[in-house]
Amino acid sequence: MAKFVFITGGVVSGLGKGITSSSLALLLKARGYKVFMQKFDPYINVDPGTMSPYQHGEVYVTQDGAETDLDLGHYERFIDEELNYTSNITTGKIYSSVIEKERRGDYLGATVQIVPHITDEIKSKVYAAASTSGADIVLTEIGGTIGDIESQSFIESLRQIRNELGKENTAFVHCTLVPYIYGSNELKTKPTQHSVIELRGMGIQPDFIVTRSPEELNDHLKEKIALYCSIPKEHVIDSVDVKNIFQVPLNYHKQGMDELVLKQFGLEVKPSQIKYWEDLVDKVDNLKDEIEISLVGKYVELHDAYLSVAESLKHAGYANNVKININWVNSEDLEKIDDLKDVFKNTSGIIVPGGFGSRGIEGKIRAINYARENKVPFLGICLGMQLACIEFARNVCGLKGASSTEFDELCADPIIDLMAEQKEIINMGGTLRLGNYDCKLVKGTLAYEDYKQDEIKERHRHRYEFNNKYRDLLEEKGMTFSGINEKANLVEIIELKDHPHFIACQFHPEFKSRPTKPHPLFNSFIRESIKFK
Ligand code: GLN
């Protein structure tokens, strides 16, 4: 049977619970255990797929097509394991499945209640994470802060699991804030004490307390927290602010957190294979050169909207020994600027990531046009590929009315259009083309050179497709269709012949990039950007 770690947060939100959870999971994996991760989000949306990036940052997509919280991206990048639809559970998911069961008659005769029906449903999701993954240890992060009304049924479910499985099979990690108070010039543990009182009021005694603070906690403070919160002093884990988040697991490791968790579970403490991560931290702290990459999008004020793309650029930077400075370019601004040279004067590569809706589209098309004409390395992702095709159709093939039916339903040349099966869809939630699809690569292309494979699988999240009616024309004019989904005959990757590095894909490569394994498309993009510089 799997062991379970539950991570809660107290005092304030934004403590980096996701990084804490991922860091512990990474350490347990480095000790030779198979780990799996899950996040509970207390909101009523069934998934974040229908939320604006301004609300929620990016939507992360798993291989099996679940639209999830961006924390899952941290999880996958840290533990390098593929997560699945059991990895992100919302209140909306729990309630819709309980209500569906009620309507079906599964509870005939009973009054359907939060305890036990909702809590049983939540518990079943924890166990499903263990059974679908076959993991030795499942780590579940509970979104929100202790005391929130929304998360109460989740906390109650975890209390029940602890009661059923005992301390040797479950561990509670509570993350809190230890603020520095100016004036008295000291770190304060009182908010942590109060947060633990609140957690205890819900029937949960934490086993570990992870304290986020601007300075390291001294022994005295750790002792104080241990005393008031009834845990051994060694179970107070200091999580001091760091410049490089990859340092976090190493800090926990130094304090013995992984070993202590394994001991609580009665699991063998095998030697830690953490050297690869230490090397990564070392590399990240000592990058030789720098380059600027322009990321053109409409949500650029909110960097979280492009989190995985930004991380993927950095990963490729590590592999190529350069620090990536992202020039965040608002696509709407580009619509008003006369000479794009001013915007891109220090730029060595241009990336246009995914997006939805018509705002800022013409600005992105101008950026693509600039990259194409000035031979600046270009990587387009999803909407970025669709717009690269539109730009090419308009400015090289002379189809002035080229567009996507997403922004202009009646355009003269719908280069990008809905597939027949998408036209019948009424619901917006969960109905995009999602998750892994096959793509066959054409030999002799940039894409093939990058992947060095005939067949790849990549994750998708889009509704519109390249319109095959225009394939011959664009090909004649110099576009190569280097990746195709053969089953549905869909364009997956395009590139240009008359350009050193212009490539774009319909899928989202950013979901598969890892700090120590950059994605091939990002890797070559950064390599070529360095050459361009
Ligand atoms: N809006 C486009 C579509 O739905 C692109 C989506 C994306 O970039 N993720 O097809």
Out of 218, 248, 280, pick the residue that ends a domain.
280
Tell me the whole-structure pTM to 2 decimals: 0.94
| Structural Rg of the chain based on CA atoms | 25
Structure tokens at 404: 């996507």
Could you tell me if the CB of 309 is within 6 A of ligand 1? no
Number of domains composing the chain: 2
DSSP for 11-41, please give it.
SSS-S-HHHHHHHHHHHHHHTT--EEEEEEE
Per the document, the length of the chain is: 533
Residue 13 shares a structural domain with residue 132: yes
Choosing from 50, 386, 491, 505 the residue with most ligand 1 atoms within 8 A of its CB, the one to mutate for a pocket test is 386
**Are 64 and 84 spatial neighbours (Cβ–Cβ below 8 Å)?**
yes
Q: What is the pLDDT of residues 470-521, one digit of tens each?
A: 999 999 999 999 999 999 999 999 999 999 999 999 999 999 999 999 999 9
- CB count in 10 Å sphere of residue 313: 27
Asked if the model's pLDDT at residue 426 lies above 80, the reply is no
* Residue 72: φ, ψ to 5°: -65, -25
Question: Please, which residues have CB within 8 angstroms of residue 226's CB and are 6 or more apart in sequence?
Answer: 232, 233, 235, 236
Distance 506 CA to ligand 1 centre (A): 8
Residue 427 shares a structural domain with residue 304: yes
Asked if the model's pLDDT at residue 103 lies above 90, the reply is yes
| DSSP for residue 442 | P
- Report which residue type is found at 313: L
Asked if the model's pLDDT at residue 84 lies above 80, the reply is yes
pLDDT band at 30 (very low <50, low <70, confident <90, very high): very high
Residue 336 shares a structural domain with residue 470: yes
**Are 318 and 515 spatial neighbours (Cβ–Cβ below 8 Å)?**
yes
Q: What is the reported pLDDT for 423?
A: 76
Task: Provide the percentage of residues in the chain whose pLDDT is more than 90.
Answer: 91
Q: What is the reported pLDDT for 11?
A: 85
Could you tell me if the CB of 359 is within 6 A of ligand 1? no
Give the nearest ligand 1 atom to 355 CA: 8
Distance 383 CA to ligand 1 centre (A): 5
CA distance 44 to 149: 12
Asked if the model's pLDDT at residue 427 lies above 80, the reply is no
Choosing from 461, 490, 491, 492 the residue with most ligand 1 atoms within 8 A of its CB, the one to mutate for a pocket test is 461
Could you tell me if the CB of 356 is within 6 A of ligand 1? yes
Residue 31 shares a structural domain with residue 176: yes
DSSP for 508-520, please give it.
-GGGG-BTTB--H
Structure tokens at 175: 């993350």
Out of 280, 311, 332, pick the residue that ends a domain.
280
3-state secondary structure of 497: coil
Omega before residue 116 within 30° of 0, cis:
yes
CA 379 to chain centre: 19
Three-state SS annotation for 40-56: EECCCCCCHHHCCHHHH
Residue 237 shares a structural domain with residue 312: no
Q: Which residues does the annotation mark as catalytic?
A: 382, 508, 510
**Range with the poorest average pLDDT among 203-212, 243-252, 413-422:** 413-422
Looking at per-residue pLDDT, the higher value among 312 and 12 belongs to: 312
| Nearest residue to 430 via CA among 125, 1, 21, 46 | 46
pLDDT band at 133 (very low <50, low <70, confident <90, very high): very high
Residue 253 shares a structural domain with residue 306: no
- Rounded mean pLDDT, 93-104: 96
Residue 237 shares a structural domain with residue 357: no
pLDDT band at 13 (very low <50, low <70, confident <90, very high): confident
Range of the domain at 162: 3-280
Q: What is the pLDDT of residues 210-238, one digit of tens each?
A: 999 999 999 999 999 999 999 999 999 99
**Are 357 and 406 spatial neighbours (Cβ–Cβ below 8 Å)?**
yes
Residue 302 shares a structural domain with residue 425: yes
| Nearest residue to 302 via CA among 51, 4, 24 | 51
Terminal C-alpha separation, the chain: 54
Residue nearest atom 1 in ligand 1 by C-alpha distance: 356
Pairing relation of β-strands 479-485 and 433-441? antiparallel
H/E stretch holding 228: helix 219-229
3-state secondary structure of 111: coil
Q: What is the reported pLDDT for 431?
A: 82
Q: What is the reported pLDDT for 50?
A: 84
**Are 528 and 512 spatial neighbours (Cβ–Cβ below 8 Å)?**
no
pLDDT band at 47 (very low <50, low <70, confident <90, very high): confident
Residue 240 shares a structural domain with residue 340: no
Asked if the model's pLDDT at residue 411 lies above 90, the reply is yes
CA distance 57 to 142: 18
Q: Which residue has the tokens 């960097």?
A: 303
Distance 337 CA to ligand 1 centre (A): 25
- Rounded mean pLDDT, 45-66: 90
Distance 306 CA to ligand 1 centre (A): 14
Residue 169 shares a structural domain with residue 211: yes
Asked if the model's pLDDT at residue 53 lies above 80, the reply is yes
**HSE-up of residue 40 (Cα within 13 Å, Cβ side):** 32
CATH code for the domain of 413: 3.40.50.880
- Rounded mean pLDDT, 143-163: 94
Q: What is the reported pLDDT for 52?
A: 85
Could you tell me if the CB of 406 is within 6 A of ligand 1? yes
3-state secondary structure of 185: coil
CA distances, 210 to each of 19, 168, 217 (Å): 11, 20, 11
- CB count in 10 Å sphere of residue 346: 11
- Rounded mean pLDDT, 189-196: 95
**Are 12 and 198 spatial neighbours (Cβ–Cβ below 8 Å)?**
no
**Are 146 and 195 spatial neighbours (Cβ–Cβ below 8 Å)?**
yes
Q: What is the reported pLDDT for 56?
A: 84
Residue 528 shares a structural domain with residue 391: yes
Beginning with the edge strand found earlier in the chain, give each strand of the sheet holding 35-41 in spatial order.
88-90, 35-41, 137-142, 3-9, 170-177, 208-213, 236-240
CATH code for the domain of 208: 3.40.50.300
| Nearest residue to 31 via CA among 79, 82, 76, 73 | 79
Residue 210 shares a structural domain with residue 346: no
Out of 280, 295, 330, pick the residue that ends a domain.
280
Choosing from 358, 381, 383 the residue with most ligand 1 atoms within 8 A of its CB, the one to mutate for a pocket test is 383
Q: What is the reported pLDDT for 457?
A: 97
CA distance 417 to 455: 25
Asked if the model's pLDDT at residue 135 lies above 80, the reply is yes
Q: What is the reported pLDDT for 509?
A: 98
Dihedral-angle region of residue 419 (phi above 0 means left; psi in -120 to 50 means alpha; beta otherwise) = beta
